[in-house]
Chains A and B, each alone.
Chain A
């Protein structure tokens, strides 16, 4: 067997853990032929000896009757407090559920309002005369609400336009478009400059 296969058994062997006889024989036979595992066992035995010594030398503070008395006197109050705490936790959970529910209802209404993103986009970048209406980019509805933003004019290959939901003019090559970038730096909508 390889060192890798016997890795844990070799450590157990070094720790003095009882292995089943066949595993132990496999480890012993491996150790006879593998120098690096032999060194590992030697070192791990030394670690075991040192750890045993450390465990035996560890003194723990004696039981302190005053600490126990403090715990005992807290015991009655603790039980009452814990019941009160349970009620408080329950109430705050209920309040949180209500808040989350009302927020999500509000968000759903906002999201279902027709063209809500378009309305915001239009307010942020009113048409200058030669532009089409803004089209919301795919997935932009899932982004945080658009609070503010700026319009960046770019040149975009016509082949890319269909991917964002715009129909390019025939054989235009590259066209100019306005991209509405939100306060968070994420693109929300695009419109063509005709």
Chain B
């Protein structure tokens, strides 16, 4: 029935193993709506998190997820299992839409969103009122969003999405060495942004001891 939300499980019998993502995409290419719904359920959160980190806005992230899945309908037949994984393929599609969205609205930020009265910031309010911690997190979030896009992609994929260098390289379509170099540069910019600007208050990085470096040995 058109326009209905298929129940989870792809009409499988109880106990039947879930179809792998690759097969879902093959079915989507054949027009299988349930396969599409299943893929959406599996990857919505991951893609949305990536887009939110990249754009700094949950509303924009939801739009990007929507556009990415529209693109999945169109290009599912192009997907080649084995060349990449469904997760990385979807991240690559989302990345294209993030870049396009930034070209249209280059100043997206959580601040804009808050001022526009849109969805609330994705920072959990600390129950004991730890304002400092929230301030530091907000400063970090702003610093991540302020990174040039190529460095931000590396930081978001490797540090926030915890992809390996190889997976990040597949998603970004570049060499592993490029990812490492961009990550290095991005993290150095973050550290500088958060610590080397006395005019903007104290260092926003949490204190970390040197105990793990065995200087004395």
Question: Measuring CB to CB, which residues of chain A are less than 8 angstroms from any residue of chain B?
Answer: 7-8, 11-12, 15, 28, 31-32, 38, 41-55, 57-61, 63-65, 67-76, 78-79, 82
Which of A58, A65, A78, A79 neighbours the largest number of chain B CB atoms within 10 Å of its CB?
A58
Contacts of B151 in A (CB 8 A): none
- With most chain A CB atoms within 10 A of its CB, the pick from B6, B58, B191, B208 is B208
A-B contacts besides A51-B140, A60-B61, A68-B5, 10 pairs, CB < 8 Å: A11-B184, A46-B208, A49-B206, A51-B160, A57-B122, A57-B137, A58-B49, A59-B122, A61-B119, A72-B4
* List of B residues within 8 angstroms of A41 by Cβ: 213
Q: Counting chain B CB atoms within 10 Å of each CB, which of A11, A48, A52, A61 scores highest?
A: A61
Inside 8 A of B205's CB, which chain A residues have their CB? 43, 46-47, 49-50
Q: How far is the CA of A19 from the CA of B160 in the complex (A)?
A: 20
Q: Are B180 and A79 in contact (CB under 8 A)?
A: no
- Contact among A15, A54, A64, A68 for B160, CB-based, below 8 A: A54
Cβ–Cβ contact A72 & B49, under 8 A: no
Are A79 and B73 interface neighbours, CB within 8 A? Answer: yes
Asked whether any CB of chain A lies closer than 8 Å to the CB of B48, the reply is yes
Do the beta carbons of A46 and B206 come within 8 Å of each other? yes
Q: Is B214's CB under 8 angstroms from A78's CB?
A: no
Complex formed: what's the CA distance from A15 to B155 in Å? 12
Q: Which of B134-179 contact A (CB under 8 A)?
A: 136-137, 140-141, 144, 155, 159-162
For B, the interface residue count at a CB cutoff of 8 angstroms equals 59
Stretch at the interface among B11-19, B29-37, B90-98, B99-107: B29-37
Known: A47-B190, A58-B122. A64 touches B62 (CB 8 A): yes
Q: A8-B180, A11-B187, A61-B58 are in contact. Are A78 and B5 (CB under 8 A)?
A: no
Q: Nearest 3 A-B pairs (CB), nearest first? A: A46-B205, A73-B3, A59-B122
Contact assessment for A7 and B184 in the assembled complex, using a CB-CB cutoff below 8 Å: yes
* Contact of A75 with B66 in the complex, beta carbons under 8 Å: no
Task: State the total of A-B contacts with C-beta under 8 angstroms.
Answer: 143
Task: Decide if A50 touches B195 in the complex (CB within 8 Å).
Answer: no
Contacts of B207 in A (CB 8 A): 46
Smallest beta-carbon distance B128→chain A, Å: 15
| CB proximity of B104 to chain A, nearest CB, Å | 20
18 A/B residue pairs, CB under 8 Å, sorted by A: A8-B184, A11-B180, A11-B187, A15-B159, A31-B215, A38-B215, A44-B191, A46-B207, A49-B206, A49-B208, A50-B194, A51-B140, A58-B52, A71-B66, A71-B73, A72-B37, A76-B31, A78-B74
Partner of A60, one of B45, B195, B206: B45
Q: Roughly how many angstroms separate A99 CA and B206 CA in the complex, as a whole number? A: 63
Say whether, besides A32-B214, A42-B210, A64-B62, A82 and B52 are in contact (CB < 8 Å).
Answer: no
* Contacting residues, chain A, for B6 (C-beta < 8 A): 72
Within the complex, the shortest CB–CB distance from A161 to chain B, in Å, comes to 52
- B49-74: which have CB < 8 Å to A? 49, 52-53, 58, 61-62, 66, 69-70, 73-74
Query: B5, B31, B41: which contacts A69 (Cβ < 8 A)?
Result: B5
Which residues of B are found within 8 Å of A59, using beta-carbon distances? 58, 122, 124
The residues of A that contact B214 with a CB separation of less than 8 Å are 28, 32
Query: Across the interface, which residues of B come within 8 angstroms of A15, CB to CB?
Result: 159
Would you call B86 an interface residue if the criterion is a C-beta within 8 Å of the partner chain's C-beta atoms?
no
**When the two chains form their complex, are residues B48 and A72 in contact, meaning their CB atoms are under 8 A apart?**
no
Taking CB atoms, residues of chain A closer than 8 Å to B37 are: 68, 72
In the complex formed, the residue of B with least CB distance to A59 is B122
B183 contacts partner chain A, Cβ-Cβ < 8 Å: yes
Q: CB distance B191 to A47 under 8 Å?
A: yes
Cα–Cα distance between A48 and B194 once the two chains are bound (Å):
13
Chain B residue numbers with a CB within 8 Å of A74 are 70, 73
When chains A and B are docked, how far (Å) is the Cα of A51 from the Cα of B156? 9
Least CB distance from B52 to A in Å reads 6
